[in-house]
A and B are shown apart, each in its own frame.
Chain A
Amino acid sequence: DTEVTQTPKHLVMGMTNKKSLKCEQHMGHRAMYWYKQKAKKPPELMFVYSYEKLSINESVPSRFSPECPNSSLLNLHLHALQPEDSALYLCASSPQSGADYGYTFGSGTRLTVV
């Protein structure tokens, strides 16, 4: 299995809702990432997990809450989002042995906040 699987593919939520995005990989990768991508813009790093511990938080608002339950799963919990949070949310993973590896990206979750 050489894929990163993200669910759901599309999500519409209200500003008072609580929802979660899920990401799964079975490549034995020990680093996992959340990126946010607005239309016609590059992906922007949100969080990095290394060995299931949060290692980088790019000053992301607390209405986004990441969780890494085990080495194969990464969640992003969403609460009280704003319409400007609408974007494509990408999950990625990479091998732990050194930083010089490209990511494997999932296809993303297209989030719309109404």
Chain B
Amino acid sequence: GESVGLHLPTLSVQEGDNSIINCAYSNSASDYFIWYKQESGKGPQFIIDIRSNMDKRQGQRVTVLLNKTVKHLSLQIAATQPGDSAVYFCAENYSSGTYKYIFGTGTRLKVLA
């Protein structure tokens, strides 16, 4: 299930199930979006990206969906594994043509054995 802690929402899923992590972005003019995975003690790691002219993009076990109408991104992870346990951030290219990315609040994914 999903719960909201003091600072970081947490999603707990059983190993082998699919995970869906959601993100609301802020700027309707943002044209490029990225999902990052951050494990404890490490920097964020690029997972998958999507441009605003697309509504879906698939990678290996991951799919990103973009709904520009409601400024919403989701990350779907198929057959979730223990190694998927981490904090997941979405990031938007806040100002097109610059190098400024704004990160969402993040979701902690816990995979239960």
A residues sitting closer than 8 Å to B (CB atoms) are 4, 31, 33, 39-45, 48, 50, 55-56, 90, 92, 94, 99-100, 102-108
Contacts and interface: CB of A to CB of B under 8 A. Distances in A.
B96 interface: yes
A99 B98 contact: yes
B73 interface: no
Contact of B43 (A31, A90, A100): A90
Contacts of B44: 43, 90, 103, 105
Interface residues of B, number: 29
Interface of B: 5-8, 31-32, 34, 36, 41-46, 49, 51, 89, 93, 96-106
Nearest to B5: A40
Chain B interface helix/strand/loop/mixed: loop
A99 to B, nearest CB: 6
B111 to A, nearest CB: 19
A91 to B, nearest CB: 8
A9 B42 CA distance: 10
B45 to A, nearest CB: 7
Contact of A42 (B34, B51, B103): B103
A42 B102 CA distance: 9
A100 B7 contact: no
Contacts of B43: 4, 90, 92, 105-108
Contacts of B7: 39-41
Contacts of A104: 46
Given A92-B43, A105-B43, A99 B104 contact: no
